[in-house]
Structure 1
Amino acid sequence: MKNFTAIIVDDEPHAIRTLQAQLGWTELPIEVLATATSVNVAREVLQKHQPDFLFLDVKMPTKGGFELFQEVDLSGIEVIFTTAHDEYALKAFKHQAAGYLMKPVSTDELRNLLEKLIQKRWPEARSSYLTFHAKDGIQRIDPQEILYVSSLGANAAIHLTSGDIVKVNKLLKSLEDELGTAFFRIHHQYLLNLAKVSSIQKGRNAEVELLNGEKLPVSRSKKMEFYAVFEQE
């Protein structure tokens, strides 16, 4: 995966340190090039660096985050506002913000937003492996070894061809975005590897049979789209 860069602008040093730590916890290859505690310092930093991401606080002494747009050309930078104030969200998106994160920032929300932005702007940067935190450290899985993924509420379970089941702290929607078009969401609870389908039982209660003999339901709202996608494979 491509290496990305970021700059953090926040008048609270502890907020900067926390966000730096959280960026590390996302496991994404993002390097913080510099930090700034005011718009004036941020302007000087941005004259030296052109980061991929700019994390920008809204309310700061003297000048707020929105004023930075008037002083620096931020085109080409994915600007993500971080703030404890929800009333500025509309104004942020009018400034073409890429995201608006409420403090205290959730690491999962941060990771999900960054993954979506990376896949949208840099689709070639998609990793060939699914990487996530495990109890013993960082683990990665080859998508070709995945039969399907099931939802566990705020988490998900990855069902492998080996028969193993790996639980991860990610939403099914997030995994759907990461795994791409080789997988299809056949049901609100199931994300399926199209290459692992043995047959499809059509009808009112449609279902798919996987190569291991396991069967999964296909929701009514997904049936026609799924049939069309599967026949193109």
Structure 2
Amino acid sequence: MVLNAIIVDDEEYSRKSLSYLIEVNCPKVKIIDMASSVSEARLLLKTRQVDIIYLDIAMPGENGFELLPDLERNETSVIFTTAFDQYAIKAIKASAIDYLLKPVNIHELQESVEKVLAWKALKLNQNLGNQTYTASLKSLSENINSSEEIRKISLPHSEGFKVKDIGDILYIEADNNYTQFHFINSEKMLVAKAMKEFEEVLNPAHFVRIHKSNIINLQYLKNYSNKNGFVVKMHNDIELTVSRRRSTEFIERVKAFLHK
């Protein structure tokens, strides 16, 4: 049996890299197309018979979760390709076929294909209906959206990925459709994704948006002053502005952080 698959990822490097790994290491899978967005993927699903969808989570516009309702009608096996390593990953695995953490490990990639084949065999042997598959996807969506703290993040760059500890992030800075990560060791990294996408997955107990341009890690907050405007000083003594409309929420979040 050859499984038809599509790759949905807004990063061209990620699409090409995963396609190559599958071609070389997974002879039972054929990549029949690729999409750079959820909307493109929907169009493909209307015209192609797809057994597997390798689905990125954080993408501009709609994220990967928003494609799940369309998959209910197509009975396509979901394998998430995510940059986020979560404590809740066991819950995700219980409902999805699998997830692959970027950069993708070849052994895990091959295992995920075997899981798809096992699922299809089980469904065939037990005559599982579409209702069971739909329930699985709904459970998947609920489990992922109740995700717990993320420990690592994989940040794409022009030559691949760099995996960083979430706890090492000092603050994040928006730069139009780019995001500049500032780390505790003074390292900086520019990523071609909007800051909003990272805000949606970072633990709100530790990370708070203080301005349209900045998210800070409360772990490294040194002090706050409203004497001459609203200003925070971070671990490396850099000062960042807290917008007036976010100041009340910021103070409440700091109180919650200190008393947890």
- Is the partner of 2:201 in helix, strand or coil? helix
Match of 1:134 in 2: 157
Q: CA deviation at 1:199?
A: 0.7
Partner of 1:120: 145
* C-alpha spacing 1:45/1:172, structure 2 compared with 1 (3 Å): farther
Kept in 2, the 8 Å contact 1:46–1:72? The answer is no
* TM-aligned CA distance change 1:127 to 1:197, over 3 Å: closer
Structure 2: where are the runs of 5+ without partners?
7-43, 57-78, 85-98, 101-111
Which of 131, 144, 157 is the equivalent residue of 1:72?
Answer: 131
AA paired with 1:13? Answer: R
Structure-to-structure mapping, 1:170-181, within 5 angstroms: 170-180=193-203, 181=205
Deviation (angstroms), 1:127: 3.6
Q: Secondary structure at the match of 1:140?
A: strand
Question: CA deviation digits over 1:145-186, x for unaligned, max 9?
Answer: 111000112220100122121111222122122221211101
Aligned-partner SS, 2:245 = coil
Aligned residue runs from structure 1 range 151-230, under 5 A: 151-180=174-203, 181-203=205-227, 205-230=229-254
Shift of 1:128: 0.9
Matched residues in 2 for 1:214 and 1:154: separation? 23
1:104 alignment partner in structure 2: none
Q: Which residue of 2 aligns with 1:12?
A: 47
Contact kept, 8 Å, 1:149 with 1:191, in 2: the verdict is yes
Rounded to whole Å, the distance in 2 between the matches of 1:12 and 1:34 is 21
Q: Kindly tell me: are residues 72 and 139 of structure 1, through their superposed partners in 2, closer, same or farther at Cα, counting changes over 3 Å?
A: same
- Distance in 2 (CA, whole Å) between partners of 1:13 and 1:26 is 24
Q: Name the count of aligned residue pairs.
A: 165
SS in structure 1 of the partner of residue 244 of structure 2: coil
Corresponding letter in the other structure for 1:158: F
CA distance in 2, matches of 1:137, 1:48: 42
Q: Report the residue type matching 1:76 in the other structure.
A: A
CA apart distance, 1:188: 1.0
Cα distance between partner residues in 2 of 1:136 and 1:26: 18
Three-state SS of the structure 1 residue aligned to 2:199 is: helix
Using the alignment, how far apart are the partners of 1:130 and 1:137 within structure 2? 13
Residues 150 and 166, structure 2, Cα contact 8 Å, conserved in 1: no
Check whether the contact 2:208–2:217 (CA below 8 A) recurs between aligned residues: yes
Q: Is the 8 A contact 2:173 2:213 kept in 1?
A: yes
Greater helix proportion: 2
Partner letter of residue 171 of structure 2?
Y
Alignment check: 8 A CA contact 1:130 1:178 kept: no
TM-score (norm 1): 0.56
SS at 2:237's partner residue? coil
Matches within 5 A, 1:10-159: 10=45, 12-13=47-48, 19-20=53-54, 26-27=82-83, 29-30=99-100, 31=112, 34=116, 72-74=131-133, 76-78=135-137, 119-121=144-146, 123-124=147-148, 126-159=149-182
Q: Partner amino acid for 2:188?
A: I
CA contact (8 A) 1:146 1:161 kept: yes
